Amino acid sequence: MNHLFHIEQAVLDALPKLSIFFAVVRNINLSKVDKKGISKLLEASWSLAREQVTAYPNVQSHPNILLWRQAFQ
């Protein structure tokens, strides 16, 4: 099975320092996955994201989001 991952040149031009990572994982035995550990990691990540976002009056004013908005205006 082949899949294609494509990024438009306009995105790369607008964000020349863009870094992208993705992984293709195959043949995982889900019975051996640390579901509690993954759940804790996701919970901690959401908590951190919530703390960072609530420091701004709205999501659009967060510096990381603001850069994207400015790049695509």
pLDDT score at 1:
65
10-residue averages of pLDDT along the chain (73 residues): 84 84 83 90 90 79 81 82
pLDDT score at 37:
93
Distances (CA, A) of 44 to 7, 25, 29, 51, 61: 30, 24, 25, 11, 23
- CA–CA separation, 12 and 18 (whole Å): 7
Q: Is residue 31 part of a domain?
A: yes
- CA–CA separation, 12 and 19 (whole Å): 10
Judge residue 53's burial from the number of C-beta atoms within 10 Å of its C-beta, 0-12 exposed, 13-18 middle, 19 or more buried.
Answer: middle
Q: Is residue 59 part of a domain?
A: yes
pLDDT score at 16:
83
pLDDT score at 40:
95
Model pTM score: 0.43
Q: Is residue 3 part of a domain?
A: no
Q: Tell me the residue range of the domain where 44 lies.
A: 9-71
Q: Is residue 56 part of a domain?
A: yes
Domain tally for the chain?
1
